[in-house]
């Protein structure tokens, strides 16, 4: 493998990585920090600023890419620590600021500039390699072509895995492998970075394991059913029933209206209660089910 071919491949891979990580941040961060769901361009602007600052550091001897895994880990830690979790305690229709919505976590506005700085730093660390490779590959038109091709490839792959409803663990795994393949310091630094990125992937996977991920949103689903009172009680009670993935059968003593093709559910889309859905309202889709003994 000649140096010219290696540089061209690395340029393609660097552009691919930057676009893939950018789309990962744009989709993943707002799903946990609701403010960024409203200010959707903040992550995009931070990435553009970071890439530009990184390219300006192309002539420096310090290899900034070495610090990328640690900075990414800090970002994941910030999101995991300050994420907002909204729990719906009712199977009825839920509106904004309804008493049935219980918030867990902190929703502080300082998270917006903090995340902006961290995202900018991540892309500045990745952008240094891009600046070096754009200078190394000749002629400039070839460098620009490889840059655009890598960007399109990163966008296309992320679109594909989003279409397949892949969870964030898959996104971060691909991003981590691509980042490790880029030019960087070898030896103990590379081993340490691989360990940090593995920890990031595991952390992100555990964080999103209870959610569904559509091509656009993070969706939290909770199933509700009415539980009949015991023989010693004179009143009935309603409590949430969350079925496991292995067992979808209602427990003993549950009376419910069973939907023909799926259970009644409540969903929280990217922590936005204004989009709360509480089951289809067409009575024709329901069949009455007798009391389960």
Question: Please, which residues have CB within 8 angstroms of residue 289's CB and are 6 or more apart in sequence?
Answer: 255, 256, 257, 258
Q: Is the pLDDT of residue 92 over 60?
A: no
Which residue is associated with the tokens 């707002």? 30
Q: Which residue has the higher pLDDT, 41 or 95?
A: 41
- Exposure string of 130-163, with b = 16+ CB inside 10 Å and e = fewer, is bbbbbebbeeeeebeebbeebbebbeebbeebbe
Residue 2 per-residue DSSP state: -
Range of weakest confidence among 96-100, 142-146, 192-196? 96-100
Amino acid 34: pLDDT = 76
Cα 59 off chain centre by: 34
Question: Please, which residues have CB within 8 angstroms of residue 120's CB and are 6 or more apart in sequence?
Answer: 46, 47, 49, 50, 53
Cα–Cα distance measured from residue 54 to residue 103, given in angstroms and rounded to the nearest whole number: 38
Q: Which residue has the higher pLDDT, 276 or 163?
A: 163
Give per-residue pLDDT as tens, 139-153.
Answer: 999 999 999 999 999
Q: Is the pLDDT of residue 216 over 90?
A: no
Q: Is the pLDDT of residue 291 over 80?
A: no
Average pLDDT over residues 238-247: 43
How confident is residue 2, by pLDDT bands cut at 50, 70 and 90?
low
Average pLDDT over residues 69-98: 71
Residue 121 three-state SS: helix
Q: In percent, how much of the chain has pLDDT > 70? A: 66
Q: Which domains does the chain show, CATH number per domain?
A: 3-85+107-210 (1.20.1250)
* Cα-based torsion angle of the residue sequence 7, 13, 19, 21 in order, rounded to the nearest 10 degrees: -120
Cα–Cα distance measured from residue 192 to residue 122, given in angstroms and rounded to the nearest whole number: 17
Q: What is the greatest pairwise CA distance in the chain?
A: 85
Among the listed residues 22, 37, 275, 274, the one whose alpha carbon sits nearest the alpha carbon of residue 171: 22
Amino acid 212: pLDDT = 86
Q: Is the pLDDT of residue 247 over 50?
A: no
Average pLDDT over residues 245-271: 45
Amino acid 83: pLDDT = 77
- In degrees, rounded to 5, the angle at the alpha carbon of residue 285 between the alpha carbons of residues 289 and 263 is 60
Range of weakest confidence among 144-158, 164-178, 205-219? 205-219
Half-sphere CA count of 139, side-chain side, radius 13 A = 1
Average pLDDT over residues 209-216: 86
Amino acid 106: pLDDT = 57
Among 1-5, 36-40, 157-161, 215-219, the range of highest mean pLDDT: 157-161
Q: Look up the pTM and report it.
A: 0.73
Start-end of H helices in the chain: 3-28, 35-38, 41-56, 68-82, 111-136, 140-163, 168-181, 188-207
First-last CA distance in the chain = 71
Q: Which residues does residue 287 pair with via DSSP β-bridges, in sequence order? A: 258
Among the listed residues 25, 32, 60, 88, the one whose alpha carbon sits nearest the alpha carbon of residue 218: 32
Q: Is the pLDDT of residue 240 over 70?
A: no
Mean pLDDT of the chain: 76
């Amino acid at each position: 493998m000649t140096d010219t071919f290696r540089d061209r491949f690395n340029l393609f891979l660097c552009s691919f990585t930057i676009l893939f990580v950018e789309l990962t941040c744009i989709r993943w961060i707002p799903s946990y920090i609701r403010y960024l769901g409203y200010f959707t361009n903040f992550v995009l602007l931070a990435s553009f600023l970071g890439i530009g600052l990184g390219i300006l550091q192309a002539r420096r001897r310090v290899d900034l890419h070495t610090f990328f895994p640690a900075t990414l880990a800090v970002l994941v830690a910030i999101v995991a620590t300050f994420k907002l979790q909204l729990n719906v305690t009712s199977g009825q229709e839920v509106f904004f600021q309804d008493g049935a919505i219980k918030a867990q976590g902190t929703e502080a506005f300082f998270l917006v500039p903090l995340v902006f700085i961290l995202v900018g730093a991540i892309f500045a660390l990745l952008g240094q390699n891009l600046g070096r490779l754009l200078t190394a590959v000749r002629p400039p038109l070839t460098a620009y072509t490889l840059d655009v091709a890598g960007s399109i490839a990163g966008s296309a792959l992320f679109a594909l895995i989003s279409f397949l409803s892949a969870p964030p663990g898959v996104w971060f795994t691909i991003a981590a492998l691509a980042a490790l393949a880029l030019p960087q310091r070898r030896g103990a630094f590379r081993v340490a970075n691989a360990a940090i990125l593995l920890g990031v992937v595991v952390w992100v996977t555990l964080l999103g394991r209870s959610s569904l991920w559509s091509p656009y949103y993070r969706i939290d689903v909770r199933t509700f059913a009415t539980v009949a009172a015991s023989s010693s009680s004179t009143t009935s009670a309603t409590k949430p029933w969350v079925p496991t993935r292995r067992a979808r059968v209602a427990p003993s003593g549950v009376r419910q209206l069973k939907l023909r093709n799926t259970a009644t559910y409540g969903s929280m889309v990217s922590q936005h209660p204004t989009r709360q859905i509480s089951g289809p309202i067409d009575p024709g889709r329901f069949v009455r089910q007798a009391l389960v003994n």
